[in-house]
Structure 1
Amino acid sequence: MNQCTAVALLPPPDHLVALSPAGHRPEAGHVLCELGGDHDGQHAAMLWDEGGRPGSAVWVRWKGSGIAQLTPLPWCPAHDPRNEACGLFAAHPSAHSWRITDPTDEAITLLLARQHPYLFPEYRDEAGS
């Protein structure tokens, strides 16, 4: 499943603006939804994790072009067959992270696999090598 393509623009926090030197206002930044493309409701992107403790990951959530909200969320407890943890929050509304593909990242990897097949043995058939 492909990753959702929703993007939100986050303005810099007020305290960061207040601390910035005159004439050097911090710029807004974009975040890309990390959920699978089939989700409904709010979009989500993880901003930072404060040490892996329950509820320590801070996510930004938004709906449509509405206001984005920062919220701490616990990690999803699911693991894949290789015991790799899901990289999304608990009770997320889409597939687990290991089933979500970023199409841009996949396209870049395939291009690199064509140019350097010895570095990407798992892509040999797709890269035409």
Structure 2
Amino acid sequence: MRQCEATAHVPPAGLLFAVLAGQGRVLGSELAYTPPRVRCELGLGHDGEHADHVWDWDHQPAHALWARWTTGQPLRFESLPWCETLGGSDADACTLYWDHSRAHSWAVHDPETEALRRQIVEEHADVPDEPS
């Protein structure tokens, strides 16, 4: 299933306030990795709001901070538990939030990432898979 292509701008102050409200502190170096934009991680045609993971909690590893939005509406932040369903080819846990709609993460494919992967493979076709 293709990944939803909805995007939204992340207000830096809003993200900082959400992180501070959730864990009480944040290092400036950690903020360097926060996204300026989010892209919905759910499968195309999902129900409800768009969602993208934006922060892992230091104090609560079973939950994460997610950006949630409806197109044309302000983005908001919500702490949600991880989906713990196991599956896919590696039997890994789903990397979406609990109770997400539609497919689990291993069944959702980003066409941009797939195109980049194909380009890298083509550009480096002469590189051996194993070191000699």
* Paired position in structure 2 for 1:126: none
* Paired position in structure 2 for 1:6: 6
* Paired position in structure 1 for 2:116: 108
* Structure 1 alignment gaps of length 5 or more: 17-27, 122-129
Equivalent AA in structure 1 for residue 94 of structure 2: C
User: Taking structure 2 as the reference length, what is the TM-score of the superposition?
Assistant: 0.73
- Residue 34 of structure 1 deviates from its aligned partner by 0.7
2: distance between equivalents of 1:106 and 1:85?
Answer: 21
* Paired position in structure 2 for 1:48: 55
2: distance between equivalents of 1:31 and 1:53?
Answer: 21
Shift >2 Å, 4+ stretches: 51-54, 117-121
For the Cα contact (< 8 Å) 1:113–1:120, is it kept in 2?
no
* Paired position in structure 1 for 2:75: 68
For the Cα contact (< 8 Å) 1:113–1:119, is it kept in 2?
no
* RMSD of Structure 2 on Structure 1 (CA): 2.5
Number of matched residues?
110
The aligned runs of 1:10-25 (5 Å cut-off) are: 10-13=10-13
Equivalent AA in structure 1 for residue 83 of structure 2: C
- Residue 112 of structure 1 deviates from its aligned partner by 1.3
1: distance between equivalents of 2:15 and 2:100?
Answer: 30
* Paired position in structure 2 for 1:77: 84
2: distance between equivalents of 1:76 and 1:15?
Answer: 22
1:37 aligns with 2:37: no
* Structure 2 alignment gaps of length 5 or more: 17-34
3-state SS in 1 of match to 2:96: coil
Q: Report which of the two structures shows the higher radius of gyration computed on alpha carbons.
A: 1
2: distance between equivalents of 1:101 and 1:34?
Answer: 9
- Residue 117 of structure 1 deviates from its aligned partner by 2.7
- Quickly say closer, same or farther: Cα 1:15–1:66, change in 2 above 3 A: closer
Q: Percent identity?
A: 38
User: Taking structure 1 as the reference length, what is the TM-score of the superposition?
Assistant: 0.74
- Residue 15 of structure 1 deviates from its aligned partner by 9.3
